[in-house]
C-alpha cells in the first residue's frame, strides 16, 4: 500500500510541477516579450517605460498570479479528497490556466489598441530577420546532440538484440501505478525494440523542431536592426542546443527503460515515479530558465554586433517594402493572417514560441492535425482513468 500511495503522490507532484511551470511561463510573458510588443500590439520600444504600459503589464501579472495560486489550491484539494485523480491534475489544470490567460489577455489587448490610438504611436515598418540563408542556418544546428542520441539509440538496439534470445517468451508490457503487471504479450521484436523506435521518433521530432526554429522568420527592431540580428543569431544557437539537450534527455530515459521492457529488471513504484519526476523536472526547468534569460527572439541578450550584422540601411529598405507583422495582420494580436506572406511559421506576438500564418494553405492542415491529436490523447487518457487504470 505504501508504494501505491507513494505512486499517487509522485504523480500528483508531477501535476503540481506542470501547473507551476505552465503558470510561471504564462505569468512572465509580458516581461520576456519584446519591448515593442504590448499584448499583441506593436508600439515604439521607447514606449515600454510609459506608466500606462507598465500598469497594464503589472495588472496581467497580478491577475495571472492569482489564477496560478487558485489553480494550485484546487489541485491540492482535489488530491486530498480524490488522490486517484492525480492524472487529471497533470492533464487538465495546465489547460485551465491557458484558458484563464486568454480571459485576462483579451481586455488588455483591447486596451493596448486603444492606448496606441490615444498616444498616436506609429510604427513605419516592421522588421523580419534574414540572418543568412536557410541552408546556412540549418547547417549551423548543433548536430552533436542528435549524433549522441542516435548512438545511444543504436546501443540500446544492440543491447536488445544481443539479449533477445535470453528473455522470457511472454513479457509484461504494462504496469499500474503500483508497478504491478496488468498486461502481457508474447515476445516479439516490436515489444522488445519499442523503446529504440520511440527514441528514433523523438529524435526526428526534435530535429525537425530545430529545423523549424532555424528557418522561422524572427522579427528585428526597426530602431536597432543590427543588434536584433546579433541577438537573433545567438538565440537560434541557444535554442538549438536546448532542443538537442531535450532530445538526448528523452533518448537517455528510454535507453534506461530498455531492461524494464525486456523484463530483466522491474523497478519499485517509488523508484519509477521518482525517475519520472526527475525526468519531468529536467525537461521543464532548464528550458523555462533559458526562456526567461534570453527573452523573445533573444531580445534580452547582450550580444556583440558583428560586421555581418551591421546592415541597417538594407534592412530598413527591406522592411519598409515587406511590411510583415503589421497590426492589421494579427487578429486579436495572436493569430497571424497575411495572404501575401509566404512564410508558414512566424514568431508569436504574445509568447516566446512560434506560430502559424493562418492564411497559408498548409496552416489549416497542421492546425487540424495538432488539434485532433490533442483531443485523441485527452479522450484516451480520460477514458483510461474512468476505467480504473490509474486507481489504486
Question: pLDDT digit string (tens) for 272-323?
Answer: 777 877 888 888 888 888 888 888 877 788 766 656 555 544 544 444 433 3
- On whether the CB atoms of residues 213 and 240 are closer than 8 A, the answer is yes
Share the mean pLDDT of the chain.
Answer: 80
pLDDT exceeds cutoff 80 at 84:
no
pLDDT exceeds cutoff 90 at 220:
no
Q: Which of 150, 255, 283 is nearest to 207 (CA)?
A: 150
pLDDT exceeds cutoff 70 at 342:
yes
pLDDT exceeds cutoff 90 at 263:
no
pLDDT of residue 101: 93
Name the phi and psi angles at 178, rounded to 5: -90, 10
- Compute the average pLDDT of residues 48-68: 93
Q: Which residue has the higher pLDDT, 306 or 121?
A: 121
Q: Which residue has the higher pLDDT, 159 or 313?
A: 159
> Which range has the worst mean pLDDT, 120-124, 212-216, 323-327, 383-387?
323-327
pLDDT exceeds cutoff 60 at 154:
yes
pLDDT of residue 89: 79
Q: Which residue has the higher pLDDT, 240 or 382?
A: 240
Cell numbers standing for residue 65 = 498570479
- Asked whether residue 164 is domain-assigned, the answer is yes
pLDDT exceeds cutoff 90 at 3:
no
pLDDT exceeds cutoff 60 at 30:
yes
> Which range has the worst mean pLDDT, 90-99, 142-151, 272-281?
272-281
- Asked whether residue 360 is domain-assigned, the answer is no
Q: Which residue has the higher pLDDT, 22 or 252?
A: 252
List, for residues 222-242, the tens digit of each pLDDT value.
667 777 777 778 888 898 999
> Where on the phi/psi map is residue 183: left (φ > 0), alpha (ψ -120 to 50), or beta?
beta
- Asked whether residue 351 is domain-assigned, the answer is no
Total domains in the chain come to 1
- Asked whether residue 288 is domain-assigned, the answer is yes
Cα distance between residue 150 and residue 252, in whole Å: 10
Cα distance between residue 47 and residue 38, in whole Å: 10
Cα distance between residue 56 and residue 48, in whole Å: 11
Cell numbers standing for residue 113 = 489598441
Greatest mean pLDDT range, 242-251, 255-264, 362-371: 242-251
Domain range holding 307? Answer: 126-323
Portion of the chain with pLDDT greater than 90, in percent: 18
Cell numbers standing for residue 326 = 503589421
pLDDT of residue 5: 41
Cβ-in-10-Å burial (0-12, 13-18, 19+) of 274 comes to middle
- Asked whether residue 319 is domain-assigned, the answer is yes
Those residues with Cβ within 8 angstroms of residue 213's Cβ, 6 or more apart along the chain or in another chain:
236, 239, 240, 243, 354
pLDDT of residue 149: 95
pLDDT exceeds cutoff 50 at 177:
yes
pLDDT of residue 248: 94
- Asked whether residue 260 is domain-assigned, the answer is yes
pLDDT grade for 325, boundaries at 50, 70 and 90:
very low
- Asked whether residue 262 is domain-assigned, the answer is yes
pLDDT grade for 113, boundaries at 50, 70 and 90:
very high
Overall pTM surpassing 0.85 (yes/no): no
pLDDT grade for 221, boundaries at 50, 70 and 90:
low
- Asked whether residue 9 is domain-assigned, the answer is no
> Which range has the worst mean pLDDT, 78-87, 140-149, 245-254?
78-87
pLDDT grade for 32, boundaries at 50, 70 and 90:
confident
Amino acid at each position: 500500500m505504501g508504494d501505491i500511495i507513494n505512486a499517487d503522490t509522485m504523480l500528483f507532484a508531477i501535476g503540481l510541477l506542470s501547473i507551476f511551470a505552465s503558470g510561471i511561463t504564462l505569468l512572465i510573458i509580458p516581461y520576456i516579450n519584446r519591448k515593442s510588443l504590448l499584448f499583441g500590439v506593436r508600439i515604439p520600444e521607447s514606449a515600454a517605460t510609459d506608466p500606462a504600459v507598465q500598469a497594464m503589464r503589472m495588472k496581467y501579472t497580478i491577475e495571472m498570479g492569482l489564477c496560478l495560486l487558485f489553480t494550485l489550491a484546487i489541485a491540492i484539494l482535489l488530491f486530498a479528497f480524490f488522490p486517484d485523480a492525480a492524472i487529471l491534475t497533470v492533464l487538465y489544470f495546465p489547460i485551465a490556466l491557458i484558458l484563464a490567460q486568454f480571459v485576462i489577455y483579451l481586455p488588455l489587448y483591447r486596451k493596448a489598441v486603444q492606448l496606441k490610438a490615444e498616444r498616436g504611436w506609429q510604427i513605419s515598418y516592421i522588421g523580419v530577420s534574414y540572418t543568412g540563408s536557410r541552408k546556412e542556418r540549418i547547417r549551423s544546428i548543433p548536430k552533436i546532440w542528435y549524433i549522441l542520441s542516435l548512438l545511444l539509440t543504436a546501443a540500446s538496439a544492440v543491447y536488445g538484440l544481443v539479449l533477445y534470445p535470453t528473455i522470457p517468451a511472454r513479457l509484461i508490457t504494462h504496469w499500474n501505478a503500483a508497478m504491478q503487471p496488468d498486461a502481457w504479450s508474447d515476445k516479439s521484436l516490436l515489444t522488445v525494440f519499442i523503446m529504440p523506435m520511440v527514441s528514433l521518433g523523438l529524435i526526428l521530432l526534435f530535429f525537425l523542431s530545430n529545423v523549424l526554429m532555424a528557418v522561422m522568420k524572427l522579427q528585428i527592431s526597426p530602431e536597432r536592426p543590427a543588434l536584433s540580428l546579433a541577438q537573433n543569431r545567438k538565440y537560434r544557437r541557444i535554442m538549438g542546443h536546448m532542443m538537442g539537450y531535450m532530445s538526448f534527455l528523452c533518448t537517455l530515459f528510454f535507453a534506461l527503460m530498455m531492461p524494464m521492457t525486456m523484463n530483466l529488471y522491474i523497478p519499485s513504484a517509488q523508484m519509477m515515479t521518482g525517475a519520472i519526476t526527475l525526468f519531468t523536472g529536467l525537461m521543464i526547468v532548464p528550458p523555462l530558465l533559458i526562456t526567461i534569460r534570453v527573452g523573445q527572439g533573444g531580445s534580452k541578450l547582450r550580444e556583440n554586433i558583428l560586421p555581418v550584422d551591421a546592415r541597417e540601411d538594407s534592412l530598413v529598405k527591406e522592411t519598409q517594402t515587406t511590411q510583415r507583422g503589421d497590426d492589421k495582420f494579427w487578429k486579436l494580436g495572436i493569430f497571424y493572417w497575411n495572404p501575401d506572406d509566404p512564410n508558414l511559421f512566424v514568431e508569436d506576438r504574445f509568447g516566446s514560441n512560434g506560430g502559424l500564418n493562418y492564411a497559408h494553405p498548409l496552416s489549416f492542415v497542421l492546425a487540424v492535425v495538432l488539434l485532433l491529436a490533442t483531443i485523441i490523447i485527452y479522450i484516451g487518457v480520460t477514458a483510461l482513468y474512468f476505467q480504473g487504470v490509474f486507481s489504486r
